[in-house]
Amino acid sequence: MSNSRHLWHFHGGLKLPSNKDISTATPITRALLPKRLTVPVQQHIGEAGQLQVKVGDNVLKGQVLAQASSYVSAPIHAPSSGKVVEIDELPVPHPSGLNALSVVIETDGEDKWIELTPLHHPNTKSPTELRQLIRQAGIVGLGGATFPTAVKVNAGPQAEIDTLIINGAECEPSISCDDMLMRNYAREVISGCELIQYIVSAKHCLIAIEDNKPEAIAAVNEIISEKALHTIEVVTIPTIYPTGGEKQLIKVLTQKEVPSDGFPSDIGVLVQNVGTAAAVHKAIYLGEPLISRLVTITGEGVLQPQNMDVLIGTSMSELIEQSGGYHKDAAKLIMGGPMMGFTLQTDHLPTTKACNCLLVENSPEKTPESMPCIRCGACATVCPAQLLPQQLYWHASSKNFDLVQDYHLFDCIECGCCNHVCPSQIPLVQYYRFAKTEIWNMERDRIKSDHARIRHDFRQERLDREKKEREEKLRKKKELLAKKKLAEASAKEADGGVVEVDPKKAAIEAAMKRVKDKKAAQKTEKEDAASLAQKNTDDKETLE
């Protein structure tokens, strides 16, 4: 029923021993409720969450500790009830080895939930409403990528998703949590598939499972038959590493190639992990946020390998202890699988949403000494991304970050195939990770300095504008005052009123007037006297 479908091949890849049986021999166990939970605020790709609690707060299981701070972000919830006893930069499992802001909860043993709001009939809700619930539940890709699921299932109004691919390949050796999830929770996985299919309006849903997982294939097929689902199909795919890579899986199932700088939605495809599908089921039907996940504890270095249902924030040391403890020869603790995982320096680190596996390797592996590249080309032969790993290595090691990008560094999925086959034992992936980190840092610095420049320009613009506004205001005020004075003067003149004069000026004018009047009076007196004298003379002449 599942394999009438034609399959395609992707370039390269490797056949590797699966080493999964040692952790699938026993049933899933539930990890004990720890006394302390350390919950990092950022466990996803995108912006860190914004804290919503402070030291001393009592919290319930499922309560929001940090809210999503932007579109590409996810909230973080309390994995159990208790008291917040510390908020600080603490060690987290990350290749950088850096600390990150975390909330420490001292659990009260009651494991008391917040009030949950299960949704019994999701089909009465719109895709947008369901996406919102997924967002509130803090669901991220549980295959390891931890990209916020609400963003991924919102491909945009232009994108038409024809095929939803549910990734149950779990191609990396040693990891078996997806296998055990499908075997034991196939109903929840299928329910999540139906929900995501409804949200993105996908016509088909293909659940891809590698052929080394017959129990999982049977369990999932049973539920599909029982529910008579005609648009959901299990596709059994060959066990070749890394078939579970998003682009490789799309190629195998559809023959389509995702463009180098594009997304699967560009070619009408959406890929989600089986664990993510089960988390979507829990969020919608039970109202439960993402506060736990299945983790594979495995490797020769641990005494009782198993799969555990673990609360996020549980210390890895407790998981190892509950798995029988370390073998006396245990030498190396890896988060993830042997190909894509990274070495941890300590087990006193919290389990995060990204943690699918803790692998303990035994025999102290003698770190092989690197030799110069002999240009054998073996790395290019196995590269599933069809890159030139040796070129990437040369440019990354010489810190030529422009050239390394010309060779499509960011198409490298860090699968480790090149490392695995390199006869010179060059730790190629370490060089690629280094180059990517450096480029991201440079990009971050560039964005920061761009932001700083834009902020400075805006400030300068604002200061100039305010200065001009002040000058304009002053000019208008002066103009208004002048007009007002003129109007007052005209009004008084029109009313025959006295124009207000300066008293000093008036006094001077009055004094001048008095002098003038006096002079005029003296002149008149003189003229009168002269006239009288003339008259007397005339009279005298007449008499004579």
For binding to ligand SF4 (CB under 6 A), which residues are involved? 373-379, 382-385, 387, 389-390, 392-393, 412-418, 421-424, 426, 428-429, 432
Q: In the complex, what is the shortest distance from the CB of residue 156 to ligand SF4, in angstroms, rounded to a whole number?
A: 28
Contacts of residue 321, defined as CB under 8 A and 6 or more positions apart, other chains included, come to none
- The nearer residue to ligand SF4, 11 or 125, going by C-beta atoms, is 11
Smallest distance from ligand SF4 to CB 407, Å: 9
Q: Is 302 left (phi over 0), alpha (psi -120 to 50) or beta?
A: beta
Q: Which is nearer to ligand SF4, 84 or 413 (CB)?
A: 413
| Minimum distance, C-beta of residue 248 to ligand SF4, in the bound complex (Å) | 10
Orientation of helix 214-227 relative to helix 177-184, angle to 10°: 40
Give the separation between CA 241 and CA 416, rounded to whole angstroms: 10
Task: Return the ∠ at Cα 247 (arms to 148 and 277), rounded to 5°.
Answer: 40
At its nearest, how many Å lie between ligand SF4 and the CB of residue 414? 5
Q: How far is the CB of 393 from ligand SF4 (least distance, A)?
A: 6
Closer Cβ to ligand SF4, 140 or 429, answer by number:
429
Give the burial class of 195: count Cβ atoms within 10 A of its Cβ; 0-12 exposed, 13-18 middle, 19 or more buried. buried
Q: How far is the CB of 381 from ligand SF4 (least distance, A)?
A: 9
The answer for 110, left when phi > 0, alpha when psi is -120 to 50, beta otherwise, is alpha
Please, which residue, 330 or 387, has the CB nearer to ligand SF4?
A: 387
Compute the least distance from the CB of residue 164 to ligand SF4, in Å: 25
Structure tokens at 256: 């389509």
* φ and ψ at residue 241, rounded to 5 degrees: -80, 135
Closest CA to 271 of 166, 356, 372, 426: 166
3-state SS string for 421-471: HCCCCCCHHHHHHHHHHHHHHHHHHHHHHHHHHHHHHHHHHHHHHHHHHHH
The beta strand positions in 231-347, using DSSP E, are 232-237, 269-273, 292-298, 306-311, 332-335, 342-344
The arrangement of strands across the sheet holding 76-77 comes to 50-51, 64-67, 76-77
CB of 179 to ligand SF4, least distance (A): 23
CB of 404: closest distance to ligand SF4 in angstroms?
Answer: 11
- φ/ψ of residue 65, rounded to 5: -95, -35
Whether residue 90 contacts residue 104, with contact meaning beta carbons closer than 8 Å, is answered with: yes
Measured CA to CA, the distance from residue 235 to residue 249 in angstroms comes to 11
CA angle 445–146–243, rounded 5-degree value:
110
Q: How far is the CB of 394 from ligand SF4 (least distance, A)?
A: 9
Instruction: Write down the least CB distance from residue 170 to ligand SF4, Å.
Output: 18
Q: Are 93 and 78 within 8 A, CB to CB?
A: no
Q: Which is closer to ligand SF4, CB of 338 or CB of 384? A: 384
H-helix or E-strand containing 282?
Answer: none
Q: Judged by CB, which is closer to ligand SF4: 317, or 430? A: 430
238 vs 427 by CB, closer to ligand SF4: 427
Q: Closest CB to ligand SF4 among 31 and 392?
A: 392
The total number of residues shown for the chain amounts to 544
d(CA 527, CA 520): 10
Q: Closest approach of Cβ 10 to ligand SF4, in Å?
A: 11
Q: Which is closer to ligand SF4, CB of 217 or CB of 385? A: 385
Nearer to ligand SF4, 134 or 417 (CB): 417
Q: What are phi and psi of 274, to 5 degrees?
A: -60, -35
Helix (H) or strand (E) holding 191: helix 186-200
Q: Which is nearer to ligand SF4, 52 or 430 (CB)?
A: 430
Nearer to ligand SF4, 7 or 373 (CB): 373
Coil vs helix vs strand at 86:
strand
Q: At its nearest, how many Å lie between ligand SF4 and the CB of residue 420? A: 8
Q: Which is nearer to ligand SF4, 185 or 432 (CB)?
A: 432
